[in-house]
Amino acid sequence: MAKTLDFEALWPFDLGRFGTTKGNAPCFLEVAAFLKTGEFDDRALDNESGVLIDFIMGLQDAMPDRPRQKLKRFIPRFIGCADFSSELARRKYIMHQALWAWLPLALDAAGMKGLSDRFRYGACGIEEFLCEARECELPIIEEIVYAALHVWSERSSDAVIEACTELFGEIAKLNDDVIRQLCLANDAEVGRVPRIYGAATVTINGALKLGLQGSGLDPWVVREAAERFREAIATSAST
């Protein structure tokens, strides 16, 4: 059921950026917790991957509203995905995607496609790639490269997931009109990176596949929970 349920279509409520305590809509973890317990308390998530909890929350907080809704589809598979034997593999996979899939997209946008293609096709290693990328003099790209260096330096530690979400956030800034206006000179030829959001969802999908996944949700259960969710949201907003 988890692989075929169209949860995104069945769940008609938006995901918020920071959850009910700091935002105006429940976040990914609060929706998952609600489906498990009927409450928004994400402390109820006691059988879910810690790596994926940290990763998904970091991504959703850096995503604009529309791309963030694409995360809903992963909620059924996320519930019950704890698998201690796969945590290291999931962490390494996310790190690899951040450097080998996300970072080249940003360098393409900065006019450094020659360098990113050399890296993609194995003509240079990661350390040479990062060293050459540091030569870019645009501050917004420098911050992206610095974040990538942080990912690489933390590759053997638990902190690599936080570093990956930091890199995602820096790349996503290239799509923000306000940040572009503040950080890019009028003559700077730096494109946007709309593909970063799809690349992030590909990473979540791949990381889930490396270990246990949720056993599935019945569509009728989802629809009934959505009705209770509407009432819970109203109650939460009034308190």
- 151 and 33, same structural domain? no
Taking Cα atoms as reference points, which of 51, 55, 116, 40 lies closest to residue 81? 51
- 131 and 32, same structural domain? no
pLDDT digits (tens, 9 = 90+) for 35-58: 888 888 778 888 999 999 999 999
Domain limits for position 157 = 85-211
- Tell me if the pTM is above 0.95: no
- 169 and 90, same structural domain? yes
C-alpha 74/C-alpha 54 separation (Å) is 15
pLDDT digits (tens, 9 = 90+) for 168-183: 999 999 999 888 888 7
- 106 and 53, same structural domain? no
- 138 and 102, same structural domain? yes
